[in-house]
Structure 1
Amino acid sequence: MQTDLQLKKDFAIEKKRKSKFVTSFGKYMFIAPGMTFLLVFLIFPIGYNVMITFKDLTAMNLLGEQNFVGFQNYITVLTDKTFSLSLKNSVVFTGLCLVFQFVIGLALALFFNQKFPGRNVMRSLILIAWMIPLVITGTLFKWMFAGEYGIINHLLMWVGVIDDPINWVTNASTSLYITVIANIWIGVPFNMIILLAALQSLPEELYEAAKVDGAGKIRQFFSITLPLLKPTVYILLMLGIIYTFKVFDIILIMTGGGPVHSSTVLPFYAYELAFTDYNFSLGATASTIMLVLLIMVSFVYLWMIRKEEQE
């Protein structure tokens, strides 16, 4: 009798152990596809990219043996004048785009947050700018700012602002800024939609109470709307920095980074090193530096969010 009880007890323990094993194994099976995707398409490429920054990988020795050069690639890139210019252009490009995209997007969001006939149709039309492929957008803006036949020059000459056509694309002092204008046009609808969704989620009771207390529209905006939009603004600016800092298509299509690298930004600089000069190690080094800069921005964002939650 005691033996039977002991056998039943051992059987129950073994069954429970197997059940825990199956449950744990099932959990890992569920996360296996996601982990595999991350390993193959994210961790491995980044790791390989970092690894070749310490070698002299070029088109000449791609299939041969590459020498270990330590931090020489980082020294070469960081002391390159083109890198300094590209970093400056990236900061200017990102800063101008973020400011104008946010301000115009917020203004449009406040406008479309009002109730009036046809607002849904107008909102949909504005979204077209965001849905059009970048190749088409870049080509259109390149034609618009063309020297002899561009519509921008014709309009400016028609109103008497300029007397002769300006070569916006091939002028070193204007090439970067026309790409900024194109990218602002692309990013405004995204900012508008995110901010409009945030505005529509704000409680109406706060505004009704503010009206009762005699607060006007401007006071309501600065005392209620902006403080409540702060988390959304943080996320929007964070995404804006990441998306804008790595812009490549518009630069390639409109100016090709020229003239004389006047519109070259960091992603295009890395592209030229890797696929024009065929120095894959230097291209990977420039990309890694750009990744480190974006990670630093991410840490700043997380610090701001944590500080906001503590307050």
Structure 2
Amino acid sequence: MSDTPHLLIPLAASHAEGCAQAMQRLALPHLDALLARLTPLEADAGEETDFAPPHERALARHLNLPGAPTPWAAWHARRQDGAWAFITPCQWHVGADHVTLTDPAALRLDEADSRALLAILAPWFAEDGITLAYDQPTRWLARGAVFEGLATASLDRVVQRDVRAWLPDAGQARLVHRLHSEMQMLLYTHPFNDARAARGLPPVNAFWVHGAGALPQPPAPVAPPEVPTALRDAALREDWPAWTAAWQALDAGPVARLAAHVAAGGTARLTLCGERGALAWHAAPRGLRQKIQSLFKPQRFTSLREQL
């Protein structure tokens, strides 16, 4: 098992206009110093329409998991007995020309409410051969043949966006699409949501399937990377002042520690992920020519945004 520290940063940059403006004023001295000492690895180029965001693809590679679709639920459950998926209870806000999935955290589901809702929905899923089990308030585990090889969009792709572009293929997931319709009708007037409304809480009227697939055998063990989530959380909300503050905290904390480790001769990996692709570096011996070039052409984070 490798003990090389790996800092993997989701949504280090975005193509949103607010992010572009924030980056013009962003100073990250420790990151720039670290980049000057690292050797680039092969970039991961993708599209914003990929179901798996770059940070999930990078994490799957680090953990020796299969590529997209990555069976995150089966890996999390440490199960090799069939196909699994995550089910996240959520709210779909239906507008005139869009169906937006609001951030599940905004539901303020606690364990008691989540378990009560699971007890309501589990029999409906069971009729279609899907077994549900509680994992955490905004995420359940599901097992069923329908999840075998099913490409599902990451929750990070669909939060605050129109769900219609991110639903699994209708031909392959006809059962899932039908369950979406049935659960919306069931929950629309259900006493569960009446009780939540009386407490000033938003209704739960839908669910999202993600991390589907089977894991025939466990991957080779590896030390997990450090994956800070503050940038991701702020970017999904498009809160660019919070995103800027999160980057400054990262630069002063984990990035500064990694830079010091590399400066002292240690090995390390750094992966910066955006909405389309990811860039990775590692600490490796560099030739004299590379060292001289780095003095005249230092790599700055702000120049890398278009590659992410």
TM-score, normalized by the shorter chain, greater than 0.5: no
Structure whose residues are more often helix by fraction: 1
Q: Which has the higher contact order (CA 8 A, sep 6+)?
A: 2
TM-score normalised to the size of structure 1?
0.26
TM-score normalised to the size of structure 2?
0.26
* Greater C-alpha Rg: 1
